[in-house]
Amino acid sequence: MPINFDKVTYTYQPNTPFESRALFDIDLDIIDGSFTALVGHTGSGKSTLLQQLNALLLPTSGTVTVDDTIIKSTSKGKEVKPVRKKVGVVFQFPETQLFDETVLKDVAFGPQNFGVSKADAEATAREKLRLVGISDDLFDRSPFELSGGQMRRVAIAGILAMNPSVLVLDEPTAGLDPKSRINMMRLFDSIHASGVTLILVTHLMDDVADYADMMYVLEKGRIIKSGQPRELFQDVNFMTTHQLGVPKATQFAMLLQARGQHFEQLPITRAELVNLLTEAAAHG
């Protein structure tokens, strides 16, 4: 499902002494089926932008078009409700939003709230819980008895139970150990492969390189660069000057380059680096 931002601005607490503008003239295109990464420092406006994707915040000026719904400053709750169902947002540390007495009830809550029958909502909840790797024996347990990683998976299943066409993920692997982080990114990759449009906010350039096909760099409320990760990571100077860094494979290739190794194009993933080095070794 496509999303378009046309000259979106957002101002917190307008017309008060605390007025502060968080977004300036944002133009953004999320292509249907794409995997888009949004990167930027603390305070660059990522969370503010995310909340515009499903109308939790309305633009102060400009428009956000989600599929065929146009969201603007004067939009009413009823007009934007369809967007809430189509665009699922997984906020940072989503496990803090669990509330129901059992895992199954918690995940079934969203669809039931949108009018799905209890039986159908629970059937969807079971399917999504299995998809995120929660075993059946945990369905009737309190979500608060689970481990932190399991709680996060349950919270993600709750968003997936709404069958969103777009899934927005705000630093979804924050606080996880390296193995759980890799498993969770693989889960999102498989959700993307099933046709869901993915938007990932992250500061991990390896994840951008491994998964994203489009990338936007946000700084002080403005998009200062956009393009395919492959293109943007070639401009190592830009990425480091803006203190975002580059993937580990690119860093390693640069070290080799400083020692005389030639690369037509810097690799951005580990697999690419290995391939290039294997080829180079084969050709002496």
Ligand X SMILES: Nc1ncnc2c1ncn2[C@@H]1O[C@H](COP(=O)(O)OP(=O)(O)OP(=O)(O)O)[C@@H](O)[C@H]1O
List of residues contacting ligand X (CB under 6 A): 12-13, 20, 22, 40, 42-48
CB of 62 to ligand X, least distance (A): 16
Report the nearest approach of ligand X to the CB of residue 42 (Å).
4
Contact 210, 222 (CB under 8 A): no
Q: Which is nearer to ligand X, 22 or 28 (CB)?
A: 22
Q: Residue 238 has what DSSP assignment?
A: H
Helical (H) or strand (E) element with 121 = helix 118-131
- For residue 191, the surrounding DSSP H or E stretch is helix 178-193
Which is nearer to ligand X, 13 or 194 (by Cβ)?
Answer: 13
Minimum distance of ligand X from residue 171's CB (angstroms): 8
Lookup result for tokens 């449009």: 197
Nearer to ligand X, 57 or 266 (CB): 57
Nearer residue to ligand X within complex by CB, 111 or 221: 221
- Residue 144 in tokens: 């608060």
Q: How far is the CB of 41 from ligand X (least distance, A)?
A: 7
Measured CA to CA, the distance from residue 225 to residue 213 in angstroms comes to 14
**Which is it for strands 69-71 and 61-66: parallel, antiparallel or unpaired?**
antiparallel
How far apart, in Å, are the Cα atoms of 113 and each of 80, 87, 118, 119, 123?
16, 16, 10, 13, 15
Q: Which of 201, 236, 197 is nearest to 217 (CA)?
A: 201
Give me the least distance between CB of 26 and ligand X, in Å please.
Answer: 12
* Parallel/antiparallel/unpaired status of strands 166-170 and 197-201: parallel
If you compute the radius of gyration of the chain from its CA atoms, what whole number of angstroms results?
Answer: 21
Contact between 267 and 276 under an 8 Å Cβ cutoff? The reply is yes
Closest CB to ligand X among residues 224, 280: 224
CB of 7 vs ligand X, minimal distance in Å: 18
Rounded Cα distance, 102 and 114, in Å: 19
Name which of 212 and 249 has its Cβ closer to ligand X: 212
Identity of the residue, 51 or 251, whose beta carbon is nearer to ligand X in the bound complex: 51
* Residue-level length of the chain: 284
Least Å distance between CB 140 and ligand X? 35
Start-to-end CA distance of the chain, whole Å, equals: 48
> By the 8 A CB rule, do 202 and 171 touch?
yes
Nearer to ligand X, 242 or 270 (CB): 242
Least distance to ligand X, CB of residue 50, Å = 7
